[in-house]
Structures are given as structure tokens and as C-alpha cells.
Amino acid sequence: MVNPVKLSNKTHTDVYPDSDSNKAASYEVRSGKVTQRVTVIADDSDGGSGLSGYKTYEDSSFVVGDSPVVHDINTDLGRNSTTGYLANTGSGALLAEISEDGATYEDQFTVGAGATVTFEDDSIDSLRLTHSADTSYSVRVK
């Protein structure tokens, strides 16, 4: 998910996370021809799960034997997620389904290689991911 970042009184919207850590994230911020590096360090006020109020799920080698995987967001956050993203960080496609109640899933959709799906003002209890081709992914929800 791309959020505006304030640097030197200018708003930059091209933000690329490049860290696998839930405790600290290093970002490359680009504005025109200028690139700056920003590191965000989280506190442990959320019980040690990383950035306060967020839950991250990742798989750096999502293969057919891992499929399907269901991320029970409601159980992990103690409520449904209202915002976040699903980033396909690999070279193959994956299939995704969203459930608001943990039992009934909406229509399956494809997330292509390198694509990111942003969730805003949603109510996500569970996210089911199904293998379509070998890939990797990252999910962050709040």
C-alpha cells in the first residue's frame, strides 16, 4: 500500500518497502530524480507483533503444496481488518478470496506477478490465497 510520506515539507507517494522485518521497515522514497531512504522503527506497544495494530503475513516461496492458505485476520487482530494490502512479490500469479465472516468467501480474483491489491474501508475476516503459479507474497492488514 502506498501512503504519502512527508519529507522536507514535500509529499512523496512513491514508497517502496524493502525490508522483511516487522520491527523496522526501510523505504526508498522517490520524487522525480531524487531518492531518499527512510527507516521506520516500530515500538512494541502492540504486544510485539510489529508495527502497532498491523499484522503481516508473508511467504517467500508460495508453491502448490502450500495451497490454499487461509489467513485468519479476525483471530490475529481481534477484529476484522479495515485497511491493508496484498502484494504479489513473485513472478507467478496467485488467486485470492476475501471473507467478511470467516465462512463465506467473495468471488476469487487473480493477483498478477508484481501486482498489489489495496484494501480500504473493507471488512476482512479472512483472506484465502490459492496457488496458481509459484510466487511469493506479502499481506499487511490493520
Give how many domains the chain has, as a whole number.
2
- Based on C-alpha coordinates, what's the Rg of the chain? 16
Q: Is the pLDDT of residue 21 over 50?
A: no
Handedness of CA 17, 19, 22, 28 (dihedral sign): negative
CATH number, domain of 90, equals 2.60.120.10
Domain check: are 37 and 61 in the same one? no
Average pLDDT of the chain is 78
Greater confidence (126 vs 24) lies with 126
CA 6 to CA 77: how far, in whole Å?
28
Handedness of CA 91, 130, 83, 43 (dihedral sign): negative
β-bridge partners, 83: 120
CA 129 to CA 117: how far, in whole Å?
13
Q: Is the pLDDT of residue 49 over 80?
A: no
Domain check: are 62 and 98 in the same one? yes
Q: Is the pLDDT of residue 116 over 70?
A: yes
Q: What is the mean pLDDT of residues 14-42?
A: 51
Domain check: are 32 and 60 in the same one? no
Domain check: are 59 and 37 in the same one? no
Domain check: are 66 and 120 in the same one? yes
Domain check: are 64 and 32 in the same one? no
Q: What is the mean pLDDT of residues 70-75?
A: 96
Q: Is 47 within a domain?
A: no
pLDDT bin (cut points 50, 70, 90) of residue 135 is very high
The DSSP output letter for 42 is -
Query: In 10 A of CB 1, how many CB atoms?
Result: 17
CA 11 to CA 14: how far, in whole Å?
10
CA 85 to CA 32: how far, in whole Å?
25
Domain check: are 78 and 128 in the same one? yes
Greater confidence (35 vs 47) lies with 35
pLDDT of residue 10: 40
Q: Is 49 within a domain?
A: no
β-bridge partners, 116: 87
Q: What angle do CA 32, 37, 38 make, to 5 degrees?
A: 115
Residues in the chain: 142
Q: Is the pLDDT of residue 1 over 50?
A: no
Domain check: are 14 and 74 in the same one? no
Residue with cell 506497544: 45
Range of the domain at 112: 55-141
